[in-house]
Structure 1
């Protein structure tokens, strides 16, 4: 999360589905209008990162503290028990290990520490924890020992996860994409990184330096330091800008789709994508609920500028399953 600094104070607002207490409001009723969380209302602590999963939520403060709440039947909150939690609770097992990023899958959590180590907790039924495989979940964050290089960025899909390392490599694990790949690519060899239950290097980036990763439900993306965007996985709603139903290997989205500008940042919804260049915001993919922001509900097969955001300075974007959010500064 990037936002204003200085003497400003942040307040965390929450709304929407709350069946497991994932809004942190001490109840399980859905909330139709944004409500401020008392723990973070006017708090001097800066919120560094927020993330939401299938039924759980996570927040990181500038001090590196990780707070979680919501569904916990698989131990995805990392609190050493499996009871749902109705308010944001500190993950005390990480004391002394400042957290810089958190990513939430459907029923698991991936955690990146300041030292570049990655930990995971929750369900492991698809190998999404990246540890020696066991179908049992884990209720305490455990280090993924096989990741030897320093990690700088993490992402979680529905039942898979991926990381970018300091040396520019990308690793993926979790078998959540495999069934889609097999249906769409019958007779073709499925790459090892789509079938792995422990971190496996994503092929196709051998001579390319990747700087970050992001993921939708069944697709993934990675951005190079030079602003080139690569995508792979399910293309059911043409969110990968390809004619193929599934991309087994990373494929670059050509720069002309972004009017020749370099991509600075990218975000993924369930099946749509949003990218920011130096001057514009682009969106594409599934658009049934209008989350691509072009005023229609028709799917968009290639990046289109979001005209409503062209006059402001964009500093924060978020994507959900069927919605998008953007925070901008506008000149007075």
Structure 2
């Protein structure tokens, strides 16, 4: 799902959550869905949050100073607390007490962490080799990926059952993949193997100076320093579609059955609106407008749209967070997981970390 390095601006913050909460992923302390945005207590976070990564049903918070909190579903060890327990409130990952973490990523049931020394650690479900340890075992405590001990990892991106690591290379940054490979999400032909339990160099990106990677579901994206975007993996939801080859579907219900017929369309209702950020969950999306307002659309069964109900929405709808004028906030960021949403709003002076 999403991945990011530390370095966001610091300031007073509000953290809001809503949607699916039966695994504790909303950090409200209860195990229930929330149909409306819930303002979380500021005491849950010792320091301002640099970045959130939302997975299948767990969340990783990277704090200023490089410390890490996790909460939500822990049945596969993805929280990194040394057990298989879920957690309904943010809890420090004690393993990183003496580390400075700069990048985190939450997959469906696994997690990745990169330290300021360039070391990669993973934990959680390893049944497809997505932890990169050379086996199919799960880990409940972060374990260093030994394959990279002599190299420097800059970024980790975790998808549903696969992971990508971005490394510094002598001729430009290189991308390595591990985990499920059957849909081509590692950039490696899957006819040779359905999964890779040790990192393998992704083909076709070696000379492109990749600066950023992202993974979600069973697909992967890479951004080069020249601004070129490379995408590979599953094609069901249109993430890989070529506009010149796109064909219209007669019925929306055929989309899941006829995965080769993919439609790319402009999101309706946003003409003339400047968007600062877009976040994509498993089956819903959120955006932040220039004025700081948040809008959501898509699947709404668990209340992940924050509109007070469980109806799906085909067009972006405004989410009411508080009485405060959204323009009073310096920054607003939205993060989407599988059926749940987080928003962080900051106001007051900011300073670089």
- TM-score over 0.5 for the pair: yes
Are 1:174 and 2:179 an aligned pair?
yes
Q: Secondary structure in 2 aligned to 1:146?
A: helix
Given that 1:214 and 1:267 are in contact with CA atoms closer than 8 Å, whether structure 2 keeps it comes out as no
Check whether the contact 1:20–1:84 (CA below 8 A) recurs between aligned residues.
Answer: yes
More deviation, 265-274/157-166:
265-274
2:29 to 26, 29, 35: 26
Counterpart CA distance in 1 for 2:209 and 2:84 is 39
Unaligned runs of 5+ in 2: 247-258, 261-275, 291-296, 306-312, 316-329, 347-353
Separation in 2, partners of 1:47, 1:199? 30
Q: How far is the alpha carbon of 1:328 from its aligned partner?
A: 10
* CA-CA distance at 1:193 after TM superposition: 8.8
Instruction: Describe how 1:241-320 pairs up with structure 2 within 5 A.
Output: 241-242=241-242, 243=245, 269-270=281-282, 289=299, 297=314, 316=333, 318-320=335-337
Distance in 1, Cα, partners of 2:55 & 2:214: 14
Paired residues of 1:21 and 1:84 also in contact (CA < 8 A): yes
**Partners of 2:97 and 2:165 in 1: how far apart?**
23
Alpha-carbon RMSD across the aligned residues, in angstroms, is 3.7
Question: Which residue number in structure 2 is paired with residue 211 of structure 1?
Answer: 211
Summarize deviations over 1:306-328 as a string: whole Å, max 9, x none: xxxxxxx9974545457999999
1:217–1:271 contact (8 Å) kept in structure 2: no
Q: Is the 8 A contact 2:18 2:340 kept in 1?
A: no
Spell out, residue by residue over 1:126-179, the C-alpha distance to the aligned partner (whole angstroms, 9 max, x if none). Answer: 111110203x3111100001024211121111111112112310111111x41x
- Work out which of the residue numbers 135, 153, 156 in structure 1 matches 2:155: 153
Deviations 1:52-99 (A, max 9, x none): 111111111101111111111111111111121121111111111111
Given that 1:9 and 1:45 are in contact with CA atoms closer than 8 Å, whether structure 2 keeps it comes out as no
Alignment-derived partner of residue 138 in structure 1? 139
Deviations 1:262-289 (A, max 9, x none): xx999654479999xxx9xxxxxxx855
Q: Report the TM-score when normalising by structure 2.
A: 0.67
Greater relative contact order: 1 or 2 (C-alpha under 8 angstroms, separation 6 or more)?
A: 2
Please name the residue that 1:222 is paired with.
Answer: 222
Q: Distance in 2 between matches of 1:272 and 1:230?
A: 23
CA distance in 1, matches of 2:13, 2:69: 16
Contact 1:214-1:266 at 8 Å conserved across structures: no
Q: For the residues of structure 1 that align with 2:286 and 2:228, how far apart are their CA atoms?
A: 14
2:12 match: secondary structure: coil
| 1:211 CA drift (Å) | 0.6
- Normalising by structure 1, report the TM-score: 0.71
Q: How many equivalent residue pairs?
A: 274
State the 1:21 CA deviation: 0.9
- State the match for 2:235 in structure 1: 235
* Conservation of the 8 A alpha-carbon contact between 1:216 and 1:268: no
Is 1:37 equivalent to 2:40 in the alignment? yes
Q: Which residue is 2:351 aligned to?
A: none
Distance in 2 (CA, whole Å) between partners of 1:48 and 1:55 is: 20
Check the 8 A contact 2:53/2:335 in 1, yes or no.
Answer: no
Deviation track 1:216-241 (CA, whole Å, cap 9, x = no partner) reads 20110000011111100011122112
* 164, 167, 175: which one aligns with 1:165: 167
Find the residue that maps to 1:240 and give its secondary structure.
Answer: coil
d(CA) in 1 for partners of 2:121, 2:27: 23
Q: Distance in 2 between matches of 1:228 and 1:272?
A: 26
Alpha-carbon separation, structure 2, partners of 1:196 and 1:271: 27
1:14 to 14, 17, 22: 17
